[in-house]
Copies of this chain bind each other. A is one copy, B any other.
């Protein structure tokens, strides 16, 4: 049974909520629901997208390959976020790859539905604009963090970010489990460095681990570390 956008709660969290009933109906009629397994790409850097992806479930990393062969993760996108908007709007091929770090359920929405609405419904356009303004601010913050904080501080911050944005499971581990490599790609460092610092945090009692899973033990100390104590 295919569900309708009109009834999709996810919509409440993104700019689609500014669409009119008819516009939404059109989107719903043209959308395609897809399942993406962990590790599979939604799209890759350089692809020309002919639509956007609305995330219903799961989490995707948005990353960019640098000339030294390492991926930099620029953002982690979850339920409710719309991916690929930037390139559809700018009519450019995408500058980022989107790869699932958990199994995902997404709706593909052909770009016509989006671009038509952008041209006709100022409320929708404004809503998209507000979202993009927010993303831009976040990107500025990332720039400052990455250039002015030590790797240790950035890793501490990443853990707090993961807790605040994706929560914890019943055992107190971060709900989103990333590989050490992904963690190092989020903070922009070598995998070995990330692993070493994780070990150090564990020894100091700031976190505890179980396999890949990481749990925060001393949030206050992590916060102090981020601030530079």
Residues of A with Cβ closer than 8 Å to B?
A: 64, 66-68, 70, 72, 74, 85-87, 89-90, 92, 95-96, 118-123, 125-126, 128-130, 132-137, 139-149, 188-189, 227-228
**Once the chains bind, are B66 and A148 in contact (CB under 8 Å)?**
yes
**Once the chains bind, are A68 and B228 in contact (CB under 8 Å)?**
yes
**Once the chains bind, are B149 and A146 in contact (CB under 8 Å)?**
no
**Once the chains bind, are B148 and A143 in contact (CB under 8 Å)?**
no
Closest to A154 in B: B147
A70 to B74, CA, bound (A): 23
How far does the Cβ of A156 sit from chain B's closest Cβ, in whole Å?
Answer: 13
**Once the chains bind, are B143 and A72 in contact (CB under 8 Å)?**
yes
**Which residues of B sit under 8 angstroms from A130, Cβ to Cβ?**
89-90
- Known contacts: A67-B227, A142-B143, A148-B72. The answer to whether A122 contacts B118 by CB under 8 A is yes
A140 to B188, CA, bound (A): 13
Question: When the two chains form the complex, which single residue of B136, B137, B147 contacts A146, counting CB atoms closer than 8 Å?
Answer: B147
Question: When the two chains form the complex, which single residue of B70, B122, B136, B189 contacts A86, counting CB atoms closer than 8 Å?
Answer: B136
**Once the chains bind, are B148 and A68 in contact (CB under 8 Å)?**
yes
Interface centre among A87, A122, A134 (most CB of B within 10 A): A122
**Which residues of B sit under 8 angstroms from A67, Cβ to Cβ?**
148-149, 227-228
Other than the given A125-B129, A139-B139, A139-B140, 18 more pairs (CB < 8 A) read A64-B140, A64-B144, A66-B144, A66-B145, A67-B227, A67-B228, A68-B149, A70-B148, A72-B143, A85-B133, A95-B137, A95-B140, A119-B126, A125-B125, A125-B126, A132-B132, A135-B136, A136-B136
Interface centre among A86, A129, A228 (most CB of B within 10 A): A129
Question: When the two chains form the complex, which single residue of B118, B137, B142 contacts A129, counting CB atoms closer than 8 Å?
Answer: B118
A96 to B137, CA, bound (A): 9
**Which residues of B sit under 8 angstroms from A129, Cβ to Cβ?**
89, 118, 125, 128-129, 132
**Which residues of B sit under 8 angstroms from A68, Cβ to Cβ?**
148-149, 228
**Which residues of B sit under 8 angstroms from A72, Cβ to Cβ?**
143-144, 147-148
**Which residues of B sit under 8 angstroms from A120, Cβ to Cβ?**
122
A122 to B126, CA, bound (A): 8
